[in-house]
Structure 1
């Protein structure tokens, strides 16, 4: 049997960090995440019982994978996910996997997390596991903070370590906006970014200021969580004046923010919002229509030769059965 899965990227329309978990091992976040129409493609072929799992890579970013996972495929999120499920449910998982890597690696767009969530959904359906949502999230937590978001089918306000997911549906008009995604192709370390952020807060902010900031973030999170639907970009921007507060902690993030600020300055017609996404090297600019976005794309490629730049859209909210395949539910291609 041969199956294909589309594993979609995300953007953080804002991301704020507010303190550590009680065990001091992870960060609490507040973020509004949404899908965009850029995806990895996962092709799966079943193998004979006992043959185990094999994985190969292709796509425009395949060469970047080893820079972050080393030469061992055991560090890949797909392999980690399948091992966790195999151990938890006493399964012999025997699959040949080909990952076409089209989402920039370590970009903050959640490629590895999306791949992991796609495999959780696949295994649940293919092996008839009938996993509860809590069981899926428990596996997701073991892989990474963003994986829980990718288990559901709409934009969402995420809190906790990213595992508390409150769906928010966007009006169709928002999905018609054009999004220019860029990546300066700089190597970044998520762990280093968060470590630098911790040191910066400890050295530059006293406890009173930190508590005040955390309260403001929590209030914004509550206000957003009360909504069922965001009608337009103006409403989104009014509700949330925050951007990504990791920028100050890493020179690559700061460089990326400056780059898109220059693009925004030279391509301001029709511009709605711009920011970096997640703890990675990618950023986005949201425009009213494709014409404005194409002009910005041309300017970006002229100003910063060699960058990854692509015009895309915010994905429709995938809460109806007709659209489930777009969010990682497999399609039988036999």
Structure 2
């Protein structure tokens, strides 16, 4: 195999709780992760030169060692003594710096794809272990589906798949630093911890409405005061038929769960007309 085409899928958090800060500076989290239909397209090709080349449809993305794709490719080449090079074409559709693990899922797909085209036979668990060296979300992006994430996000437990539902994903024209949000979180001032166990129970019962009612993200306490537009988009979604709406990850992306595609389409039209969100997508849960 000389090349491979991949869909690097985005994630949302159906619940995000922070339990405390560790001595190493990382935070202990408890999150429900869910893969969605939005994806970046990645094509990986072998090249004879011992190089890593990245091409992107977005001019502002780095195509050097500052890109997680590069880090993943370099790790594979170094650890498995791969002498050939790779050219990686990235067509990016997942919003950037949006709390949807866009960079992590691109890195995950690079590890997966290079494993395939160089016929390395690396197990999924080993790929996940390697991915953790790149970022806390990379192991989940290799596993995908519905999962409970604990520790710094690397301890993963596969859950009953989230029932199919329609989603709107809306990103306002701002970028948020995950590092800054976590550093600014006041553990003592968290207004409400989400009911992670309750969300898992609702998923198990196939109760989409139950999931929507119990969703929560403690990082909203930090990001919404900095960017009130996030709260405004949430309110618009709820006003226009969402059964639940929440910020994903550290933000600023907001997603809403809808009872059907028609209601989601109506809300999408309202959000686009209102103009607070630059990118507004309709998508679905993916398992």
TM over 0.5: yes
Counting helix residues as a fraction of each chain, which structure ranks higher? Answer: 1
CA distance in 1: counterparts of 2:212 and 2:202, whole angstroms: 14
* 1:193 matched residue in structure 2: 181
CA distance in 1: counterparts of 2:156 and 2:187, whole angstroms: 26
CA distance in 2: counterparts of 1:265 and 1:125, whole angstroms: 43
* 1:65 matched residue in structure 2: 61
* 2:54 matched residue in structure 1: 55
* 2:130 matched residue in structure 1: 139
- Length, aligned pairs only: 286
Matching of residue 276 in structure 1 with residue 247 in structure 2:
yes
Paired residue secondary structure (1:108): coil
Kindly indicate whether the alpha-carbon contact (under 8 Å) linking 1:247 and 1:254 is maintained by their aligned counterparts in 2.
no
- Against the structure 1 CA distance between its residues 229 and 84, is the aligned structure 2 distance closer, same or farther, given a 3 Å change threshold? same
Paired residue secondary structure (1:43): strand
* CA apart distance, 1:314: 0.8
CA distance in 1: counterparts of 2:45 and 2:237, whole angstroms: 44
Matching of residue 310 in structure 1 with residue 281 in structure 2:
yes
Residue ranges of structure 2 left out of the alignment (5+ in a row): none
* CA apart distance, 1:222: 5.8
* 2:232 matched residue in structure 1: 259
Paired residue secondary structure (1:83): helix
Residue ranges of structure 1 left out of the alignment (5+ in a row): 67-71, 318-334
* CA apart distance, 1:113: 0.6
Kindly indicate whether the alpha-carbon contact (under 8 Å) linking 2:3 and 2:117 is maintained by their aligned counterparts in 1.
no
Kindly indicate whether the alpha-carbon contact (under 8 Å) linking 1:266 and 1:299 is maintained by their aligned counterparts in 2.
no
Give me the CA root mean square deviation: 2.6
- The farther-off stretch of 150-159 and 243-252 is 243-252
Structure-to-structure mapping, 1:104-119, within 5 angstroms: 104-119=95-110
CA distance in 2: counterparts of 1:283 and 1:178, whole angstroms: 14
- Against the structure 1 CA distance between its residues 28 and 77, is the aligned structure 2 distance closer, same or farther, given a 3 Å change threshold? same
* CA apart distance, 1:33: 1.1
* CA apart distance, 1:147: 0.8
* 1:296 matched residue in structure 2: 267
Kindly indicate whether the alpha-carbon contact (under 8 Å) linking 2:15 and 2:196 is maintained by their aligned counterparts in 1.
no
CA distance in 2: counterparts of 1:25 and 1:305, whole angstroms: 34
* CA apart distance, 1:272: 1.6
* CA apart distance, 1:99: 0.4
Kindly indicate whether the alpha-carbon contact (under 8 Å) linking 1:170 and 1:230 is maintained by their aligned counterparts in 2.
no
Kindly indicate whether the alpha-carbon contact (under 8 Å) linking 2:128 and 2:140 is maintained by their aligned counterparts in 1.
no
Matching of residue 129 in structure 1 with residue 127 in structure 2:
no
Structure-to-structure mapping, 1:74-89, within 5 angstroms: 74-89=65-80
* CA apart distance, 1:224: 6.2
CA distance in 2: counterparts of 1:294 and 1:2, whole angstroms: 37
Paired residue secondary structure (1:151): helix
Structure-to-structure mapping, 1:157-176, within 5 angstroms: 157-170=148-161, 174-175=163-164
* CA apart distance, 1:299: 1.1
More contact order relative to length (CA 8 Å, sep ≥ 6): 1
Q: 2:258 aligns with which of 281, 287, 299?
A: 287
TM-score of the two chains, using structure 2 as the length reference:
0.89
